Amino acid sequence: MQIDKTKLKDCVLLTPKSHNDARGYFIETYRESWMEDLGSYNGAFVQDNQSFSHYGTIRGLHLQTGKYAQSKLVQVVHGHILDVVVDLRVNSPTYGQHLAVELSFENNIQLWIPKGFAHGFSVLSESATVCYKCDAYYNKDAEGGIHPLDADLAIDWQIPTAKQRISEKDLALPTFNSIYK
């Protein structure tokens, strides 16, 4: 397992070793001992999520608040996405900054997102299946988020405006500055 720091404090990229031969490949995608060295891992995933989306879909930026705040380990098992996180931890040196990283079936890179980040992604391939482990259960009353097209965050989702598929719910989310500044 290769672990690489990112520009955002505590967010890291994990690249598992792929064992390939004429039959295909084998990848060990998770091992708790890898996570223990990250510092922001609490040792218990309680929920796995999977989403399938078509090209142009933008999901997010989502988060869970309070005792339902979630850390996530995100990976793509089909296709190619741009995964985006925004640091919402007020005391963090990277507060208000965002990171965009390409995750795909081909590169096998996973993104570790600790509690305190908003998360979203755009689908860059014809379709994509995204899987992620969470360390807290989803709770509808603890939902939060930031408008994915927030002008102040200026996230380049790498999807032309005319091709963007965004839910009405996500388009109704507040801007970063209206709730976090």
- Domains contained in the chain, CATH given: 2-179 (2.60.120.10)
Q: pLDDT grade, residue 34 (50/70/90)? A: confident
CB 155 within 8 A of CB 89: no
Mean pLDDT of 52-77: 96
Q: How confident is the model at residue 39 (pLDDT cuts 50, 70, 90)?
A: low
The CA-atom distances, in angstroms, between 38 and each of 43, 73, 104, 129, 131 are 11, 12, 22, 26, 20
The conformational region for residue 149 under phi > 0 = left, psi -120 to 50 = alpha, else beta, is alpha
> What integer is the mean pLDDT of 116-130?
98
Answer for the pair 13, 109: CB distance below 8 angstroms, yes or no.
yes
Q: How confident is the model at residue 71 (pLDDT cuts 50, 70, 90)?
A: very high
77 pLDDT band (50/70/90 cuts)?
very high
β-pair partners for 3: 14
Verify whether residue 62 is a known catalytic residue: yes
Q: State the average pLDDT for the chain.
A: 93
Mean pLDDT over residues 97-120, rounded? 96
Q: Which amino acid is at 107?
A: N
From 41, 80, 98, 132, the catalytic residue: 132
The pTM score is 0.92
Is 132 a catalytic site residue? yes
Given the residues 62, 80, 119, 147, the one annotated as active site: 62
Which residue is it, tokens 């005391």?
91
The pair of structure tokens assigned to 35 is: 């996570």
Tell me, rounded to whole angstroms, the distance of Cα 123 from its chain centroid: 12
